[in-house]
Structure 1
Amino acid sequence: MTISTIITAAGKNSRMRKDQLSRNIELKNKLILPFKDKTVIETTIDNALSANVDECIVVLGHYANEIMEAIFDNYKGSVKFVINNPVDVGLSVSLYNGLSNIRSDFALCITADQPTVSTETFNRMIEIIENAEDPYKTISILRRRKTGILDTAEGLGMPFVAPRENLMKYLENENDNLNPILRKIFADGYTFYGVKEKNEKELLNINHYDDYLQLLD
């Protein structure tokens, strides 16, 4: 079983930008804000590269030049960068573009603003797929409510591990957020397995400046 990581980093940064303007602080893409010893996106990439994966793809869009300038030299040998064209597309398109650039059987799908999700949690998600009765009809996902086999896909999003070709069929010709697509997959009889977080901070994405400050504590 081969597994690639897709990290989506193509968003508009609109909520963070609005918060920075309201606080009268420097406008800076949330993904290149300092986090631990690196940046938000570098911490996410490092956690993914340390997991049991074969390759890593980062999908860029809005602010691609700003992000590339900040991190490219550190990852030019270990990460493949894909840039959306056109840029103004939904998360489903970014993920599809990433999946189109891998050949692995399965994909660990992450958003770049999840620097607190640990390598251990990623590996646990991968193990669920590796041990599934039918891995091609299974999605392991960081839980939002329950753990174990789930009875709904409501409220779910990345990170998750899914079979590449099957996931691409659902993403093709869609331009949307992921949850409606995950609900369709669930309705078609896929097994969704909710993986428990290592700690509460793993459940937080960085959307607002207050989220960022909370995760820095």
Structure 2
Amino acid sequence: MTVSAIITAAGKNSRMRNDQISRGISLKNKLILPFHNKTVIETTIDNTLSSNVDECIVVLGHYSDEIKEAIFDNYKDSVKFIENNPIDVGLSVSLLNGLKNINSDFALCVTGDQPTVSGETFNKLIEVCQNSDNPKKTIAILRRRKIGLLDTAEGLGMPFVSFKNNLIKYLENENDNLNPILRKIFSDGYTFYGIKEKNELELMNINHYDDYLKLLNSF
């Protein structure tokens, strides 16, 4: 099965900006904060490209010029960049725009603020979906609570692997966060399989400045 990666990098960065203002430090999008000789999003992209994907698309929106200025030259030959229009949309729209631009049957869906998720874990997601009894109705997802066959989609988000065309159907006409949509997919009888993280840091997104400092100092 062919797999394309979609990395969403289109958010408002509101919580990070508020933290930076309260600390009196320079405003900078969280995705281009330094992260061990790279930026946060470059680390996410590199981990994604190290997995068994056939292509990688980064979806931009808010602060697209700032992000592209920081990373475009390093990835123009290995990553396709697309931009939301309009930009003020929910995560579901960003993901849908990415899905409409991939060539593969399956999608590895990642957020740009997950620099600690390894290529090894991405490959586990791909393998579990690929080897399931019905890959088109299976979502392999990084666990939040239980491991293995899941009995709920509560609290789940990216990264995950899903069949592209089915996921598009659920995202069309939505403008929302992802979890309510995943719960709807689960209620329709899809198999959700939770993959164990390589380490606890893989379960963290960078939302606040303290999240960034914790990952920076622990990774």
Q: TM-score, normalised by structure 2?
A: 0.99
Distance in 2 separating the partners of 1:53 and 1:97: 18
- Report the CA distance between 1:103 and its aligned residue: 1.9
Percentage identity across paired residues of the two chains:
79
For 1:183, what is the secondary structure of its paired residue?
helix
Letter in 1 for 2:66: E
Whether 1:49 and 2:68 are equivalent positions in the alignment is no
1:96 corresponding residue in structure 2:
96
Q: Deviations over 1:81-138 (max 9, x none)?
A: 0100000000000000000001211000000000000010000000001101000000
Counting only pairs closer than 5 Å after superposition, residues 65-144 of structure 1 correspond to structure 2 as: 65-144=65-144
- Cross-structure match for 2:16: 16
SS in 2 for 1:122: helix
Partner of 2:200: 200
Size of the alignment, in residue pairs? 217
| TM-score normalized with structure 1 length | 1.00
Deviation at 1:43, TM superposition (A): 0.1
Considering only aligned residues, what root-mean-square deviation do their CA atoms show, in Å? 0.3
Q: Which runs of 4+ in 1 moved over 4 A?
A: none
Q: Quick one: distance in 2 between partners of 1:67 and 1:206?
A: 16
Instruction: Tell me the residue number matched to 1:31.
Output: 31
Aligned residue runs from structure 1 range 155-170, under 5 A: 155-170=155-170
Residues 162-193 of structure 1: per-residue CA shift (max 9 Å, x gap): 00000000000000000000000000000000
* Structure 1 residues without counterparts, runs of 5 or longer: none
* 2-structure distance, mates of 1:137, 1:166: 8
2:190 is matched with 190
